[in-house]
Amino acid sequence: MRKAPTPDGVNISRDEFGVPHIRAEDLEGAYWGMGYCHALDRAVQMCLTRVVGQGRVSECLDSGPESLEIDLFFRRMNWSAKTAREVGNLSPEASTLFSAYCRGVNARFEKSRPWEFRALRFKPEPWTIDDTILLVRTTGYVSLAQSQAEIEQLFVELVQAGVTDEQLESLFPGRLHPFDRARIEQVRVGRARQVPDTMRWGLSDRRMIASNSWVVAPSRSASGNAMMANDPHLEINRLPNIWVEQVVELPDDTIITANMPGIPGILVGRNDHVSIGATYSFLDAVDSWIEDCRDGRYRRGADWVAFEERHETIKVKGGRPVEVVFYENEHGVLDGDPNETGSYLATRWAPAEGGAASLNAMTEFLSVKSVAAAMQVVRKLEISFNWVMADAEGHIGFQMSGLMPLRSPAATGFTPMPGWDPDFDWSGWVSGDDLPRAFDPTDGYIVTANNDLNHLGAVDPINMAMGDFRSRQIADMLEAGPCDEPHFREIFGNVHSRQAAEMLTILRPLLGDTKTDRELAEWDHSYSIDSRGAVVFEAFYKQLIEEMFASREIGSDVIRFLIESSGTFVDFYAVFDAVLQAEASPWLGERTRSEVWKAALARTDPPDGVWGDHNRVTLTNLLFDGKLPRFLGFDVGPIPLAGGRATPHQGQVYSAAGRPTSFAPSLRVIADMGKPGIRSVLIGGPSDRRFSRWYKSDVQRWRQGKLKSLRRHGAEDPMD
């Protein structure tokens, strides 16, 4: 293959940790270098993500039935559509920089093709800006906004299972309007089903998807500088890591970034002036409408309107193509066939057709010099995140981003709305100025941990937040200080569960003298890998959930599925905890809370061993997914995982779509804004090349709770 030229003034090297350093005369050269390095270090990852997002797994990689299901999901979401329009909406600067990025990617593609692609007889197409927009959409929904869609879908299934209005209100207080039970009961649920058909409601004995970030002001930091820390909790049991680190050295600035292959710029990191960290906000940008359908049309006021039909052909490697039709209207994609008379859900995600605004904002952020300016930039992003920022002048800030729909005053966005009534259509987007934000708060710190931050905005974008246990634990530790790198690392590794501590205040008076009872009574609420109490408490907690919610309408099999094979109790455990801890609840029936808790305790039969024996992950290669013999070295582990759902160091392991997954710190970053560089670690390494020394070079450091220094060549260590 032709050797691609390196643009003038661009030089690429690695530091002692394998992290690429891109020296460039300007941002255009820097973006070329970021693209080249993404393709050099993560070609398989970025191309695989693109193929999945395009719905072409069956065509390019594998012809099995699971691949077809993946393709059907992504074709239904249709994120590869209307990207050309978004490319046209890019600012001149963003267009120039992202074009340079694509040239860098393709220069590497032309120079070398990974051996995995040759084995699969797959040749990746040239990278385009359209592909980056596709990845922005895909990563913004999968495992993030997807959780909101799933809990809203679960609500529909609870209604259809016969869960009473009183029980639903106790689970989702203040969110049940508009609520037309009869209409929801008539909805025909198709591929969007949360609980699979094999877990049929009520027929088994007729019983019933986090991150931390914080910033501290100079008044609280040991160095007298503003500081930022971030540890995004994402799936960690895949190699390579979702994040890739890069250092960009410009004549008058240094950009140190953790970004994602295919998406250049700063997602987590800093320039010389401002640092930034991110957590998911749980802004509700997903809504559903009930569509009244017949003869391929849907009711709109007094009229019947034809759906827009989208015909897709899914090519199958070595097989016959699959033809599929999707029906769309202003409310999104229909979950069903409108030619069969009935009620169906149409669902829409606000950023589904966007991308340009996000890329423009990412470009602007590279040159911001203050927290105030950074807040103005990040609020333009279409994807929902909580951003925390600290600058070299000592300011700190928080800004939520994301497209929040302007809804009817009669709608919360949680329950499905009547599609035939135009009053329930979206009428635009809430201004970023009205989303939650904070600047230089008087207490000198800001913490985000996927908790409810509605009180910091003029609107309430969050319908379903995670519990606030982690945010409260982190805030207390920051209050105690000293706020320096060792203390921040201590916070990263903290495995104390406030959730467990609060539940034990209810449980302790009910404990007897059995071995299980004594182990619970003596437990210190720690999810360390050598904790026995964490094993016993988790066994009790699962029994308590089943005892409380496994009613005549919702069978035990369904509850076990939701616990073990979905993100429901991972993302939204606080919703269910409120019912578990309530002294009076329609879920109790004729029993008292004490009777339910005692019954769950009596059924608790914890397995032997400590937490690390049961809570462990194996890091499997993203492409081969554990199918290759262990001695070949593509996989790492199993690794005992400390932490639980409510500890600052999360360590959650469960199944999703039939495969193991996890939530744990995928990346850790600390920036002191009075010093150059950052301290960081990721669980993995810079490269997705199995035979590279950088394939898993950070794993041991991550396990030991250590950090490495990333800085400009010749700069001092940021934490010296």
Closest CA to 301 of 325, 328, 330: 330
Please report the pLDDT score of residue 656 as a whole number. Answer: 62
State how beta strands 286-294 and 238-239 pair. unpaired
Tokens standing for residue 670: 């600390």
Closest CA to 696 of 257, 49, 237: 237
* Cβ(374)–Cβ(368) below 8 Å: yes
Please report the pLDDT score of residue 201 as a whole number. Answer: 36
Tell me how far apart the alpha carbons of residues 52 and 56 are, in angstroms, rounded to a whole number: 6
Q: Are 266 and 414 in a shared domain?
A: yes
- Domain end marker among 122, 140, 158: 140
Please report the pLDDT score of residue 123 as a whole number. Answer: 85
Instruction: Give the DSSP H or E segment for 77.
Output: helix 65-77
Q: Looking at the predicted structure, is the pLDDT value of residue 655 above 80?
A: no
CATH code of 56's domain: 1.10.439.10
Q: What is the tens place of the pLDDT at every residue in 660-676?
A: 778 889 999 999 999 99
Residue 31 lies in a domain: yes
Q: Are 474 and 358 in a shared domain?
A: yes
**Domain count along the chain:** 2
* Cβ(375)–Cβ(106) below 8 Å: no
- Domain end marker among 444, 476, 492: 492
Stretch 416-427: mean pLDDT: 95
Q: Are 120 and 232 in a shared domain?
A: no
Please report the pLDDT score of residue 206 as a whole number. Answer: 27
Q: Are 107 and 26 in a shared domain?
A: yes
Range of the domain at 256: 211-283+353-492
Tell me how far apart the alpha carbons of residues 671 and 718 are, in angstroms, rounded to a whole number: 8
Q: Are 220 and 136 in a shared domain?
A: no
Q: Are 127 and 215 in a shared domain?
A: no
Tokens standing for residue 495: 């495995």
3-state secondary structure 123-170: CCCCCCHHHHHHHHHHHHHHHHHHHHHHHHHHHHHHHHHCCCHHHHHH
Q: Are 112 and 217 in a shared domain?
A: no
Residue 370 lies in a domain: yes
Q: Are 77 and 219 in a shared domain?
A: no
Q: Looking at the predicted structure, is the pLDDT value of residue 237 above 90?
A: no
Tell me how far apart the alpha carbons of residues 612 and 320 are, in angstroms, rounded to a whole number: 47
Please report the pLDDT score of residue 557 as a whole number. Answer: 73
Residue 235 lies in a domain: yes
Please report the pLDDT score of residue 96 as a whole number. Answer: 96
Q: What is the tens place of the pLDDT at every residue in 370-419?
A: 999 999 999 999 999 999 999 999 999 999 999 999 999 999 988 999 99
Residue 119 lies in a domain: yes
Residue 507 lies in a domain: no
Please report the pLDDT score of residue 335 as a whole number. Answer: 92
Q: Are 261 and 132 in a shared domain?
A: no
- Domain end marker among 113, 140, 167: 140
Please report the pLDDT score of residue 207 as a whole number. Answer: 27
- Percent of residues, the chain, with pLDDT higher than 70: 93
Closest CA to 250 of 15, 7, 11, 4: 11
Please report the pLDDT score of residue 26 as a whole number. Answer: 94
Q: Are 22 and 129 in a shared domain?
A: yes
Question: Could you please report the per-residue DSSP string of 586-651?
Answer: GGGTTS-HHHHHHHHHHH--PPSS-HHHHSEEEEEETTTTT-S-GGGSS-EEEEE----TTSSS--
Tell me which of 208 and 30 has the higher pLDDT.
30
Q: Are 272 and 383 in a shared domain?
A: yes
Q: What is the tens place of the pLDDT at every residue in 672-695?
A: 999 999 999 999 999 999 989 999
Please report the pLDDT score of residue 363 as a whole number. Answer: 94
Q: What is the tens place of the pLDDT at every residue in 73-104?
A: 899 999 988 899 999 999 999 999 999 999 99
Residue 379 lies in a domain: yes
Please report the pLDDT score of residue 200 as a whole number. Answer: 33
CA angle, 571 as apex, 565 and 575 as ends, to 5°? 110
Amino acid present at 511: L
Mean pLDDT score of the chain:
89
CATH code of 481's domain: 3.60.20.10
Residue 557 lies in a domain: no
Please report the pLDDT score of residue 428 as a whole number. Answer: 94
The region, left, alpha or beta by phi > 0 then psi within -120 to 50, assigned to residue 25 is alpha
Please report the pLDDT score of residue 234 as a whole number. Answer: 83
Residue 562 lies in a domain: no
Please report the pLDDT score of residue 202 as a whole number. Answer: 34
Please report the pLDDT score of residue 379 as a whole number. Answer: 94
Please report the pLDDT score of residue 222 as a whole number. Answer: 95
Q: Looking at the predicted structure, is the pLDDT value of residue 4 above 50?
A: no
Q: What is the tens place of the pLDDT at every residue in 182-229?
A: 999 999 987 655 444 433 333 333 222 468 899 999 999 999 999 999
Tell me how far apart the alpha carbons of residues 178 and 716 are, in angstroms, rounded to a whole number: 59
Tell me how far apart the alpha carbons of residues 574 and 472 are, in angstroms, rounded to a whole number: 14
Q: Which of 51-55, 395-399, 463-467 has the highest mean pLDDT?
A: 395-399
Tell me how far apart the alpha carbons of residues 707 and 214 are, in angstroms, rounded to a whole number: 17
Q: What is the tens place of the pLDDT at every residue in 508-558?
A: 999 999 999 999 999 999 999 999 999 999 999 999 998 988 866 676 777
Q: Are 272 and 398 in a shared domain?
A: yes
Q: How far is CA 601 from the centre of its chain?
A: 33
